[in-house]
Amino acid sequence: MSRKKLLITGGAGFIGGNFVQYMVDKYSDYDVVNLDLLTYAGELKKHSDIENRDNYRFVQADIADRETISSLFEQEQFDYVVHFAAESHVDRSITDPAVFVRTNVMGTQVLLDASRKDGISKFVHVSTDEVYGELDFDPSVFFTEETPLQPNSPYSASKASSDLLVRAYYETFGLPMNITRCSNNYGPYHFPEKLIPLTISKVMNEQKVPVYGDGKNIRDWLHVWDHCAAIDLVLHQGVNGEVYNVGGHNERTNLEVVKTIIHTLGKSEDLIEFVADRLGHDKRYAIDPTKLENLGWKPTYTFETGIAQTIQWYIDNTEWWELILSGEYRN
């Protein structure tokens, strides 16, 4: 059996990092190259178990660096690209939108040019449900793949722009591609500025947990390992040119999520501290994943089983997130 070569961008981050481990473990006949710039949210300690595997290699590089990326593609001759690398924190995009445009839009375009030149077999662009904008609180209404793109933050606008570039390279140049749009992920190795790991770390340290506004904003939660399985399926069986929504059927208000974590850890709701709402805070995201389910995917985690597993992981791995909170991981 001939070996396949897979480039995963952003593989030192949360979702990309879990996908790197998933692919290295599942496909011994795949040579996995993990490309990451190692910005503030990237760290490699999560890959200590696989760093010496014959089918894994790390490359530190900037996806917007055209010369370096072109050289890497010429040298490696990749079969597949799965593109996670992105600036992804909404609050940071409000503070500094330019960084998001450079990485998420220009970086994607550099990768598309290299992929087209190299003649890769499939480019999977991992996007977000935030490109659709927001839904109201009607529980019968969901995002589908046909929902118009109406992003409301600089982050989601940059992701929508990159989605449209990927689509254009398929329509104009015939580049084999799929786009996946996922709901909020959670699970192991989630950077502790995000809601669930932030809440877990705050509660474990008996610190106040900030909740935006009234806490009634709703998100659909997807376990990262279910997401990895979905991307694997799309990579190998997705119909070229198609978009696939990946959702967990686990809608919760932010306040419900925080309270679940507090109760699981046996602490008091007095730790909750309501703070001024985020600018442009979308009310609700909810995904209809029927198209992907028809391809053969189903989430295996309910929110109850997934959040219990995630909380236990953070209890068992305090050293990992304490290094991040202290900033020591950057050294």
Catalytic residue among 129, 163, 232, 251: 129
**CB-CB contact of 184 with 222 (8 Å):** yes
Active site residue 76: no
Report DSSP letters for 127-162, one per residue: EEGGGG--B-S-TT--B-TTSPP---SHHHHHHHHH
- Provide the 10 A C-beta neighbour count for residue 77: 10
Question: Tell me, what amino acid is at 189?
Answer: Y
**CB-CB contact of 124 with 80 (8 Å):** yes
DSSP secondary structure letter of residue 59: E
- Provide the 10 A C-beta neighbour count for residue 64: 19
How many whole angstroms separate alpha carbon 296 and alpha carbon 233? Answer: 8
**CB-CB contact of 63 with 36 (8 Å):** no
The three-state secondary structure class of 222 is strand
The three-state secondary structure class of 224 is helix
Catalytic residue among 31, 79, 130, 232: 130
Measured CA to CA in angstroms, residue 19 lies from 188, 288, 306 at distances of: 12, 22, 17
How many whole angstroms separate alpha carbon 9 and alpha carbon 26? Answer: 18
Q: Residue 281: CA atoms inside 13 Å, Cβ hemisphere, count?
A: 17
Active site residue 129: yes
Active site residue 293: no
| Catalytic residue annotation | 129-130, 155
